[in-house]
Amino acid sequence: MRTLLLALATLLAGTAAFAQTAPDAASLLAASDTARGGNSPGLTWEIAVRNSGSLVRDDEVTMLQVKAHDRSSVAEIHEPLRSKGSKILQVDRNMWITKPGLRKPVAISPRQRLTGQASIGDIAATDYAHDYTPKYLRAETINGEPCHVLELTAARQNTTYDRIVYWISDTRRVGVHADFMSVSGKRIKRADFVYDNRVSLDGKAGPGLPFVSRMTIQDELTDGKSVLDFSKIRVGAIAASEFDAGNIQ
């Protein structure tokens, strides 16, 4: 009995100490958004999306250029040729798409599939700190890296996913893994992130901050997988007219 009580006291003490040292979930989340284009002062990058799995009938690559500023972004599709010139505009979490020959933009949901396992919201600038309410779950090591695990619950209706369990690196403050969940708590997709790009947001010389270079999305119900490669990251002012739904035809 004495041993049991001692073990219980030690467990409670450790839990209390952990609660006191657990970092602020909102601050962690906001910091991680920076490495995925969230709240940027003006960034442009390119994305190449490749799909694989038994349901994929060709090795077609989708190429896009994304421009982002603050909580807005616009993505223009360059390939495949049948979609060339189509644009996806995101302002806050409101989204529209326009295609050559279309008279006016059409409102869409970030949950709509872009290609393969990639939803339209996956290629837009990430603003999880604004879109989700975070809850700190635990500290955990994943792939040999100490991380903080957050549960993100949608704070509004037009988010890409209802819930996300998100692993954020303790030292790098970037999201390294995500489980995308349904309302019922079932995992529907999972994603892993690599950050081999660097970007200097303040214009100063130096190594800069990490920026996402690859996002791999795996479907939980099939063998479908999409790999998004991010490249040609550039910092620079972007005209406000780029994010005006009336100007994206």
What average pLDDT does this structure show over 132-144? 96
Domain ranges within the chain, ordered by starting residue: 25-247
DSSP code of residue 236: -
How high is the pLDDT of residue 204?
A: 56
pLDDT digits (tens, 9 = 90+) for 151-198: 999 998 888 999 999 999 999 999 999 999 998 889 999 999 999 999
What average pLDDT does this structure show over 61-78? 92
Q: Per the structure block, which two tokens stand in for 87? A: 């644009």
**Measuring CA to CA, how many Å separate 20 from each of 13, 42, 189?**
11, 37, 33
CATH architecture of 25-247: Clam (2.50)
Quick check: 15 pLDDT over 50?
Answer: no
**Measuring CA to CA, how many Å separate 191 from each of 26, 45, 125, 222?**
21, 20, 16, 14
Strand 225-235 to 61-70 pairing: unpaired
